[in-house]
Amino acid sequence: MARATAEVLYSLAHCLRHEDALAVREEISVAVGPCITRFVFEPDEYTGARNRVIVVCPAVLQSMYAPEFTAYSAGHRLEVEGN
């Protein structure tokens, strides 16, 4: 690992620890029209590529809703709407 990469990772870990965002439970829900998928990420479990949303709801495919994301972590709520 290059020294610059190691320094960036150290800085990121330091900032996340300072914000109490390191090794915390993360939750997010993804809504595409009437279909809602909820994900929970535990800090001690690697879930890998299983974290995806595959839209198979015919109502969504016909009208092409914009996806909506709602994330909850460390007592904070963040909403991001796709355009």
User: Is 2 part of any domain?
Assistant: no
Q: What are phi and psi of 62, to 5 degrees?
A: -75, -40
User: Is 64 part of any domain?
Assistant: yes
Q: ∠ CA(39), CA(16), CA(11), 5° rounding?
A: 135
Q: Is the predicted pLDDT of residue 16 greater than 60, yes or no?
A: yes
- Calculate what percentage of the chain has a pLDDT beyond 70: 70
User: Is 1 part of any domain?
Assistant: no
Domain that holds residue 68: 24-81
User: Is 13 part of any domain?
Assistant: no
User: Is 45 part of any domain?
Assistant: yes
User: Is 57 part of any domain?
Assistant: yes
The tokens for 48 are 């890998």
User: Is 73 part of any domain?
Assistant: yes
Q: What is the pLDDT of residue 34?
A: 74
Number of domains in the chain: 1
User: Is 14 part of any domain?
Assistant: no
Q: What is the pLDDT of residue 4?
A: 85
